Homo-oligomer: A and B are copies of this chain.
Amino acid sequence: MSGRAGSDRSILAEEMTSAEFEKRAKAKPLVIVPFGSLEEHGSHLPLCTDAFQAEEVAVRVAEKLGAIVLPTIKYGECRSTRNFPGTISLSSKTVRHLAFDIVSELARNGIDKVMILTGHAGTGHMAALREGALKALEKDKRLKIMVLSDYDIAYGLLGKEFPKADGHGGEIETSRIMNIRPELVRSSRPVGRTRAPEYMLLPNPEKYFPTGIIGDSRRATAAKGKKLDDYIVRELCELVSVNFGIGQSR
């Protein structure tokens, strides 16, 4: 996977053979489906920032728990950044269908524990993932499906270790990419806030955060990123333990 040293046939479905996948599936492992987005992330971060983060923690969780990681879908439904250059937004419908198809096919393969982990945490995007997965659940009620963003966890630290107003492309996100893909972080350190009117659907959301980010990327460090990633991985493992009854295998 991008940014990672090597390959690991025991984790990445894309590198397994059919028979290897079949053998692994028999043990009823957790399967993680990482989602990201291809969207504007300020003047300093790459378009696939969200995918890099989801993939990183997905693989680390999988290493700890003996899970399988499917290939990352590096596209998502983007609303507030949808008019910026470089954003390639899927429609909600497409995201719903992707989630439905992938979870349904995992069920066909005998998998019953699925985590959809999305680095992109837009509410429309996440609603689409949940709706698609829910439809697959209606078809096969034995499925246990978890849908969340690593930012559901990271943003639990807002108002504590990080400023309340941190968000898209801000201190947390910049720190994490400095940890995961340092070579992709440019030298600029933009600062931005949003004053988007509350609860409004906007034809031009970009107008309300002209730097394309929310927060202060100047405060970001790779060390903070590492701490964040470690924290997210621990919390995800804890959630998997509670929700699926799967403990750490290594």
Q: Does A180 contact B (CB under 8 A)?
A: no
Whether A2 and B7, one on each chain, are in contact in the complex, defined by CB atoms closer than 8 angstroms, is yes
Interface size class of chain A, counting residues whose CB lies under 8 Å from the partner chain: 35 or more
Complex Cα distance, B74 from A72, in Å, reads 8
Whether A16 and B46, one on each chain, are in contact in the complex, defined by CB atoms closer than 8 angstroms, is yes
Whether A18 and B212, one on each chain, are in contact in the complex, defined by CB atoms closer than 8 angstroms, is yes
Complex Cα distance, B187 from A108, in Å, reads 28
Whether A87 and B38, one on each chain, are in contact in the complex, defined by CB atoms closer than 8 angstroms, is no
For A201, the chain B residues whose CB sits under 8 A away are 130, 133-134, 137, 145-147
Q: In A59-77, which residues have CB < 8 Å from any B CB?
A: 70-75
Q: In A1-37, which residues have CB < 8 Å from any B CB?
A: 1-3, 7, 9, 13-22, 25
Whether A199 and B152, one on each chain, are in contact in the complex, defined by CB atoms closer than 8 angstroms, is yes
Whether B16 and A47, one on each chain, are in contact in the complex, defined by CB atoms closer than 8 angstroms, is yes
| A residues adjacent to B (C-beta < 8 A) | 1-3, 7, 9, 13-22, 25, 38, 40-48, 51, 70-75, 79, 84-94, 97-98, 101-102, 105-106, 109, 123-124, 127-128, 130-131, 133-134, 137-138, 141, 143-148, 152, 183-184, 186, 197-201, 203, 212, 239, 242-243
Report the 6 A-B pairs with minimum CB-CB distance, sorted nearest first. A127-B127, A14-B48, A22-B85, A21-B86, A71-B74, A18-B40
